[in-house]
Amino acid sequence: MLFYSFFKTLIGQQVTVELKNDLAITGILTSVDQFLNIKLDEIRAVDEAKYPHMMAVKNCFIRGSVVRYVQLPASAVDTALLQDAARREAQQPTTGGAH
């Protein structure tokens, strides 16, 4: 839940998603779900020369499982809070059946 919770706060921010096939896409994060599927808007491939076919695409849906990295805008990340959240997560019983 932490990642989902985290990515939700990034909605509306510009992120760069690196896929496992080495394609990197920059765009505005429109939405994300608990599988960390990602929807981007106003996208642009980082290496447009290599992926010219991406130039025609304006928005995309990325299945969470194909994401390798997501580059975040540093300003939108509250690291102290993230630490707290991680602690909280770690504290929770791992069985996950909290409620």
Partner 1 sequence: MSDSFFGFDTTLPPLNSDQSTGLSRTGEDYGVYDYEQNIDLDQLEEEADDLNAETFGDVGDIGQDFDFTESTAKIVDTIKKEEEIYVGRRESTTSDKGEEQSKRRPSYAALWGNDSDVIFNGKNNHSNEIVGAPSLSESPISPSIWGSFHAPSSRTEGGIIPTSFENSHHYTPPQTSPPPLGFGPPLHTSVRSPMSLEEIEAQLHRQAGVPEKRMLSLAEVEAALMSVNGRPPPPQHLMYSTNEATFRDQENLAFLEQEAAYREQEALLFHKEKKRRDKQRKLSRYNGLMTQSDKDFINRIQISQLVTDDPYADDFYYQVYTAIRSRQPQPSISTFSPQLGGSGFMGHERGRHRSRGSESGLLKMQQQVLRIVNDARRKPKLTQLSLEGALGKIALNSVRNPRQLLQVSSKSNDIHHVGPSNGSGSVHSQHQKIPSISSHGVIDHRKILKSIENVYTAVLALEELRRNQPPLPRPYADHERVAVERWNEEYVELAKTMWEELRVTEMNVCKGAIWGPQGNVSPAMLEEVELFMNTVVPPLLQFVAESPLRIVIGLFGLFIERNNIVWVARSKVGLAFLTMFLSRAEILKQGGGAMQGLPPPEELEMIQWQDLYNRLFSLLQNHFLSLYPPFMIGIDDMYVWQFLAAMAVGASTEQQHVLVTEVRERVLETVIQASRLSADKASHKIANVNLFLNALGLDASQLKNFEEEYSLHTNPQDIGNGEELPEDPIQDHRPRLLIMGQRRSGKSSIQKVVFHKMPANETLFLESTNKIVKEDITSFIDFQVWDFPGQINYFDSAYDSNMIFGEYGALIFVIDAQDDYIEALNRLHHTVTRAYKVNPDLSFEVFIHKVDALSDEYKIDTQRDIQQRITDELADYDLEHVHLNFYLTSIYDHSIFEAFSKVIQKLIPQLPTLENLLNILCANSGIEKAFLFDVNSKIYIATDSSPVDMQSYEICSDMIDVIVDISEIYGRTNSYRFTNDDFDQSQTDTNGHSGNYGTTTETANDASSLIKLNNGMILCLRGVNRFLALVCLLRSDNFEKHGLIDYNFQCFKEAIADVFELKRRNAERMKHERMGLIENVDDNVGG
Stretch that binds partner 1, among 13-21, 30-38, 46-54, 63-71 (CB under 8 A): 30-38
Q: Are 39 and 60 in contact (CB under 8 A)?
A: yes
By CB under 8 A, tell whether 12 contacts partner 1.
yes
59-85: b (≥16 Cβ within 10 Å) or e = eeebeeeebeebebeeeeeeeeeeeee
By CB under 8 A, tell whether 75 contacts partner 1.
no
Q: Are 42 and 62 in contact (CB under 8 A)?
A: no
Of the residues 61, 63, 71, 73, which one makes contact with partner 1 according to CB under 8 A: 61
Q: Which chain residues interact with partner 1 by CB under 8 A?
A: 1-2, 4-6, 8-9, 11-12, 30-35, 39, 41, 58-59, 61, 78, 80-85, 87-89, 91-92, 94-99
